[in-house]
Homo-oligomer: A and B are copies of this chain.
Amino acid sequence: MGGKDAGATDGTRGRDPAAAVRAIVAAAGDHVAPLLARVEERLTAVAGAHGPPLDLHAGDTIAAGGKRLRPLLVLLAAGARPADEARLVRAAVAVELVHSATLVHDDVLDEAPLRRGRPTVVATAGPDMATATGDLLFSRAFAELAVPGGLAEGVRALSAASSALARGELLQREDAWAAQVTVDRYLERCELKTACLFKAACELGALEAGGGHGDALGAFGRRVGLAFQILDDVLDVAGPAQRTGKHRGTDLLDGTVTLPLILARERDTAVAAIDLRSVRTAQQAEAVCDAVIASGALGEARERALGMVAQAKAGLPGLPVAQHRALELVADSVVERYS
């Protein structure tokens, strides 16, 4: 469940993600597509404003981005009549910049060669450049929120999420190869590594709409984020590789203990007996994946994620029909990638 994996899936997994985004945008109303285009433009501009060589790496990172699920949540949470479109676009950009910064730093720590099929910054330019690129993207995220009339609550929401990301990254590394990771501990990690930023995205959008429904929309984002991460972890076990663009069991090879494995250990003493450090080759990882699947754990993990998506949708506040529908479609799209 690395940020790595969460990120990797944005663009490469599932049915046609672009089609899912188009459907969401169509449901939300005519105003969303131009806003998304402005987000994209501004991301490119922000990444290119620092002189070489940072522009190159920040630009590549941004260009390699997935389907911009987090900025989309910001826009959708703001509804059809945001107070200030330019400010809304910048809030959406800020969330994506924090996400990108985290991916770049995760890749440094993982010494990851590829992300979304492209060479990572750390692979291309080394850890110094990658660390600085991540720091720069972080800094720029907060600059995006620093506009006249910008709201302190927005900065607070984003910094809470980015603190959580740092803590989640640590938790993941602390728990690496640990046999006794509990479901609660796993969920805490998902909360920090994924759900908090989804939540912040929705809160930022709600703020730009005037602050109504901030808590309810934040809760929606959080649940969608949790489901997103759980299903991502399911997919790492379920494959197949031609769908995910990578081998099954990469989490196992990283020592990342995810929900399917935790549940399989409860169900099957043979899985529980596996020493994760002995899983070193892609073949061995695939064999463990097969054992996890045979235990029936994937179904249980999926059920939990589906329950979270159902809760997310049920907890949506009273919103205009189009906005409500679009947010429901976002929640569904998280599931559809994996069905």
Q: Which residues of A line the B interface, CB within 8 A?
A: 50-51, 53-54, 102, 105, 108-109, 127-129, 131-136, 138-140, 142-143, 145-150, 152-156, 158-160, 162-163, 165-167, 169-170, 173-174
Contacts and interface: CB of A to CB of B under 8 A. Distances in A.
Contact of A53 (B145, B148, B170): B170
A163 B150 contact: no
Count this chain's copies in the assembly: 2
Nearest to A144: B159
A201 to B, nearest CB: 16
Nearest to A155: B146
B128 A143 contact: no
A157 to B, nearest CB: 8
A140 B142 CA distance: 11
A131 B167 CA distance: 11
Residues of A contacting B: mostly: helix
Nearest to A162: B139
Contacts of A145: 152, 155
A146 B173 contact: no
Nearest to A153: B146
Nearest to A109: B128
8 contacts: A50-B167, A54-B170, A128-B173, A131-B131, A135-B169, A142-B142, A142-B159, A143-B159
Nearest to A161: B139
Contacts of A51: 167
Nearest to A108: B131
Contacts of A132: 166-167, 169-170, 173
A166 B129 contact: no
Contact of A143 (B109, B135, B163): B163
Contact of A138 (B109, B138, B147): B138
Given A146-B152, A158-B142, A135 B53 contact: no
B105 A166 contact: no
A180 to B, nearest CB: 17
Nearest to A165: B135
B105 A167 contact: no
Contacts of A53: 170, 174
A131 B101 CA distance: 12
The 3 closest A-B pairs by CB, nearest first: A146-B155, A146-B156, A143-B159
A193 to B, nearest CB: 11
B147 A152 contact: yes
B105 A135 contact: yes
A167 to B, nearest CB: 6
A50 to B, nearest CB: 6
Contacts of A131: 105, 108-109, 131, 169
Given A136-B167, A142-B142, 19 more contacts: A50-B167, A54-B170, A102-B135, A105-B131, A108-B127, A109-B128, A128-B169, A131-B169, A135-B165, A136-B163, A136-B166, A138-B139, A138-B162, A139-B160, A140-B163, A143-B155, A146-B155, A150-B152, A150-B155
A48 B139 CA distance: 23
Given A53-B174, A108-B131, A166 B148 contact: no
